A and B are shown apart, each in its own frame.
Chain A
Amino acid sequence: MARVRVLVGTKKGAFILTSDGKRDKWDVAGPFFGGWSIYHMKGSPIDPNRIYASQCSDWFGQVIQRSDDGGKNWYQPGGEASIDFTGKPAGASNKFVYEGTVGTHMWYDGTQHPWEFKRVWHLEPSLTEVETVYAGAEDAALFRSTDGATTWQELRGLRDQQASNWAPGAGGMGLHTIILDPTNPLRIYVAISSAGAFRTDDGGVTWKPINRGLKSKYMPDPNAEVGYCVHRLALHPSKPDVVFMQLHWNIMRTDNAGELWTNISGNLPTDFGFPIEVHPHEPETIYVIPITSDSEHYVHEGKLRVFRSRTGGTEWEALTSGLPQKDCYVNVLRDAMSTDTLEEGGIYFGTSGGQIYVSPDGGDNWRTIVHDLPAVLSVEVQTLR
């Protein structure tokens, strides 16, 4: 029988939740890396027991952890304890060095500011090469490892896209979304707050901004190619040219791989938010969890509601069964919603209040898996067969 494994990153450690295909009874393991922020964990689609974790702290910086046994044991690739006191330090799994001239980007006061590595927001294992994994960094850059996260190299071409005009948002200038096209190994989509969305069609050597059609209030140049605060992208593997976006405000879609975006916010009560997901079996069924506004980072009207569109956007329905509908003021971050691929597709999300919710029936009914974790930063689901 199929099983699911939910990888939860929180502000104070990681947790791994497991269940059978009914998704009714859950085992909770953790905390792993107690006291550290776990921005993201993700398993390899080739070897699900190969899991990477981005562990970070304002005090001690970035660490990359890897498990080869489904999360039971962890280590830092290249950082194994040494008994050779004469050798050079080997640890490099957390060494993220910008390629070439570091360069500058726009700072909050309008001046230019040098690129500074702060943390890894997102890890994306390759769909085809088990030793290859991508890392989205703050300050924004895309790194790739081809040796299982032991060493990293920046894909420098991304920052040729007017990077001196990129500027950090309130949460920093993080490259938070990496989507690998399952039908074209040379195509990658990334998104950066608040620079925009970008696409490569040659495996990461050259990139182009894909922000035409996005609107951001108060942008000095409404037709600017970069400078948009994209919060999240999502696509269905069967339709890789159709990409959905949670922009700062506005839900958007493109049917041509980002060449042009159209607004699909429709009847949503508010269209500010962070996560967006696609149903695992229905490419035109999408989910968002809007919050009140950019100044009020909690759900609208004190009700935790997931909104589902079965028409690829514009027409939305509120999903509330099993979710608190009174006095609820949590937020759901951009990497904190995910899906399984069981026959009746499951939807999962985690909140700033430490709850993990699952709907085993595509959003119709929700239940709490666990409700008192630290604030949830990320949720990824593995379907194990």
Chain B
Amino acid sequence: MEIPFHLQNLARSGPEVLLEVSSPVTIGTVLDALEQRYPMLCGTVRDHVTKKRRAFLRYFGCQKDLSFVDTTAPLPEAIVAGTEPFIIWGALSGG
């Protein structure tokens, strides 16, 4: 998956991080895996308690805006296979 600049700094990672995710591969399980691998990102993408996406972030993949997709629904096969990234994008609003 790809994460934005500010989160790269927290995670001390590059823009792309590789995650092992057990089936089913959904937005929820991908973010669970991200937070397990990088605990410092807990609370920065989604709320600690409600797990709601933070308002100014968006999820993309396979040329689609996945921000409003059910977080328990399977992601596109190309993301599951790792040939396309699941993208967290942080610059759709503000200035």
Contact = CB atoms under 8 A, between A and B. Distances in A.
A88 B43 CA distance: 14
A79 B6 contact: no
Given A58-B94, A85-B20, A97-B48, A35 B5 contact: yes
A61 B37 contact: no
Contact of B36 (A33, A76, A85): A85
A79 B42 contact: yes
B11 interface: yes
Nearest to A81: B38
A81 B10 contact: no
Interface in A53-82: 57-63, 76, 78-82
Interface in B1-37: 4-7, 9-12, 20, 32-33, 35-37
Nearest to B33: A85
Contacts of A36: 6
Contact of B39 (A35, A58, A62, A78): A78
Given A85-B37, A89-B36, A60 B7 contact: yes
Interface stretch (B49-57, B61-69, B70-78, B79-87): B49-57
B6 A89 contact: no
Q: Which of A62, A80, A94 has the most CB of B within 10 A?
A: A94
Given A82-B37, A85-B36, A89-B36, A60 B44 contact: yes
A79 B42 CA distance: 8
B40 A79 contact: yes
A76 B10 contact: yes
Contact of B43 (A33, A58, A94): A94
Given A76-B10, A85-B20, A89-B35, A95 B40 contact: no
The binding surface of chain A is classed by DSSP as loop
Contact of B57 (A59, A87, A88): A59
B39 A80 contact: yes
Contacts of B5: 35
B36 A61 contact: no
Interface residues of B, number: 30
A63 B44 contact: yes
Nearest to B7: A60
Given A63-B44, A81-B12, A94-B43, A57 B36 contact: no
B59 to A, nearest CB: 14
Given A33-B9, A59-B6, A94-B43, A87 B48 contact: no
Contacts of B40: 63, 76, 79-81, 91
A264 to B, nearest CB: 41
A179 interface: no
Contacts of A84: 36
A369 B47 CA distance: 39
Contacts of B7: 60
B6 A57 contact: yes
A222 interface: no
A33 B5 CA distance: 11
Given A59-B6, A61-B54, A63-B10, A82 B36 contact: yes
A148 to B, nearest CB: 16
Contacts of B36: 82, 84-89
A61 B35 contact: no
B42 A95 contact: yes
Given A81-B11, A82-B37, A85-B37, A94 B42 contact: yes
B11 to A, nearest CB: 7
B20 A35 contact: no
What are the 3 tightest A-B residue pairs by CB atom distance, in nearest-first order? A79-B40, A91-B42, A91-B39
Interface of B: 4-7, 9-12, 20, 32-33, 35-45, 48-49, 54, 56-57, 90-91, 94
Given A63-B10, A85-B33, A86-B36, 9 more contacts: A59-B57, A59-B94, A60-B45, A60-B54, A80-B40, A81-B37, A89-B32, A89-B42, A94-B42
28 contacts: A36-B6, A58-B94, A59-B94, A60-B7, A60-B10, A60-B44, A60-B45, A60-B54, A63-B43, A76-B10, A79-B40, A79-B42, A80-B40, A81-B11, A81-B12, A81-B38, A82-B36, A82-B37, A82-B38, A86-B36, A88-B36, A89-B36, A89-B42, A91-B35, A91-B43, A94-B43, A94-B44, A95-B43
